[in-house]
Structure 1
Amino acid sequence: MQETAPPADHPKTRRFIRWLSLVVLIAIGIAVWVHTRHAGPTKHGAQAQAVGVATATSGDMPEILNALGTVTPENTVTVLPQLSGYLTAVGYKEGEMVEKGQFLAQIDARQYEITLQQAQAQLAKDQAALAQAEADLQRYAQLNERKSIAPQTYADQQFLVKQQQAAIKADQAAIAQAKLNISLCHITAPVAGRVGLRLVDPGNYVTVSSQPGIVVITSVKPTTVEFNVPQASLSRVMQRFHSGEPLSVAAFNGDNNKQIASGVLYAIGNQMATSTGTIPLRARFANDDEALFPNDFVNVRLHVDTLRNVVLVPTAAVQSGAPGNFVFLVNADRNAVSVRKITIGQTDGKNTVVGQGLAVGDTVVVDGVDRLSDGALVKLQGKAPAH
């Protein structure tokens, strides 16, 4: 026979309900106690964060403009033949340095020597004709005084003498041209520099201004570097450039970790590039060690000026966010920090100039800033690092 559940007012049922209620109350009490134990420290005070700090100091900061530059030779000359003929000799080695006036190549000059001889023969002929015409003119002058010849005959002889004199000048010009042609067969370097690879071999027939030419000469010592600066910096550069003091320029390698040459700014372009808002500048380098190779790319640092007695902080202390540029300033009690908005200026990577917001002697956080917020408690680690 099936048993029936005891009624709700049965003694066993009442005892079970009381025990169940007691267990629930104990569980709630334990949960409240655990929550209060773990939430207590957060509610009553945050834990101090260990941070590294530095002190704002007064010092000098070089005002540097960084740019990407191209090594641009002062002279790049393509040597072209100025007359036609067979190339009989080449007097340089590919890639070597040549001096101005050094022999480069020889064109067969025999046909121009023959032309010179012809011009010299024509000169001798015309000189003899002039001598004869002058002798006749003297006789005609005597006869004209005696009225023995017509005046027209005497006048014609005078014109003939002038024609012979002009012919001699033309012969002399032809001789000079022939000599010039002979000298142009002997091709020399118009500038000093490094020659490139040979463009034409001996035995080839070259013509006037034939391409690609005989050889290309590129000057390497000295050389220049061309680079651009932004429009906003132009007025400052112009002011310093026209003061008469040389503006030093340093060239660094492609990785920007090693200085390879030092020079001075010597030219500023005359037009702004509207597409980029920059203006070209050119610096000259002695390049005695040939560290700057033509058309190579280098990193340029133009030293415009030096800022004196400015407030400096380590660059690691400067943060950027919603307020703009700011630092975490250690409060006077040195137990907490506050966000201090600042304006920054020139930087050299290690230190940054602070225009407004800090004073010399202020302590700022340089290590551990990622865990901080305004009003956070801090614990200073060791001495403030020198910078």
Structure 2
Amino acid sequence: MFDCDVLVIGGGIVGLSTAYAIQRAAPGTRVAVLEKEAGPARHQTGRNSGVIHSGIYYRPGSLKARFAVEGAAEMVKFCAEWGIPHQVTGKLVVATDREELPRLHSLVQRGRENGIPVRELGPSQITEYEPRVRGLAAIHVGTTGIVDYTSVARRLAEASGAEILYGAEVTAVDRRPWGVAVRTADRRIVRGKVLVNCAGLHCDRVARLTGDDPGMRIVPFRGEYYELADPSLVRGLVYPVPDPAFPFLGVHLTRGIDGGVHIGPNAVPALAREGYDWGVVHPRELTGTLAWPGSWSIARRHWRYGAGELRRSLSKRAFTEAVRRLLPGVDESDLRPAAAGVRAQAVLRDGTLVDDFLIREGARAVHVLNAPSPAATASLPIGREIARRVLPHL
């Protein structure tokens, strides 16, 4: 009667980590992963800057803080065991304005509360790490690293032993007392005892297909990147001091595992859930975003911040100005456009930007409703948490 025990929707790193965790916790459990694309990690997982985050930014006691700290160590271990190229590089968080100094100090305290080694630096010590970077003060976070998360996702798919069905976009879910049946766009029917929704940019839609009210909507924010024409200008990872009012970290410099240096991202509203540039517009999805009351609350509350992000999106000169706060010697000709990503940001009805991982359960279903960065870093602990919730249903 059943094609599998656990039916996972979404072949990004969280969905594949879930399949991996279930197999490790309960060997022999039959897991099927449905992914609408032709391969794994085509969206959030494969379109980020590849950072293994330390967990320094996140509220002590939150799932993000706990899972990022655990996940960073586990990700390094997993990559070492499976021969996936990675580096533990450390990173700098640099204050370039006196108004940022109290926030930098708060970040030091938060890092220590989360058990993360942090070293405070003065201006001359900054240049020891990054000769071309300038700032009033900085902190060095030693546990940050870099990796190609698409490679990690592929290895998780292999190691999980799951049946991975690509090109399987879910169009309907029929939930019964005995389990769930899912229909895909190519009219396949797949039956399982329990469903796990790891659909990322489409997770709220999938939750509604099951009959569950997620109580939130995904509002997509595009992150636009450039890359340095001369990557020797930056040795490692350099971040500004983030504004705690927003889940975005600001324009930063990231040396990737391939040796290139990415700059960004900014954060602008996307006109489609997979709207990787201004030319991608899906009217139905855009209408859904605009119909959600929380979208207008965000606009009213944060319009000044949003205006700055839009300016940097539309003007390379403005983007370069943001970069020059950290790297004064750079100019427009040093920046080359790079591929953008889209953040699946959960927003509540009142306009609250959900700032922690959000996992909710329904009848024979577990929904992952907010898992943007640092979800890739934290994917192994997130997978275990989902497995813990799924296995009792079996």
Give the alignment's TM-score, normalised by structure 1.
Answer: 0.20
The TM-score, its normalising length taken from structure 2, stands at 0.19
Q: Which has the higher strand share?
A: 1
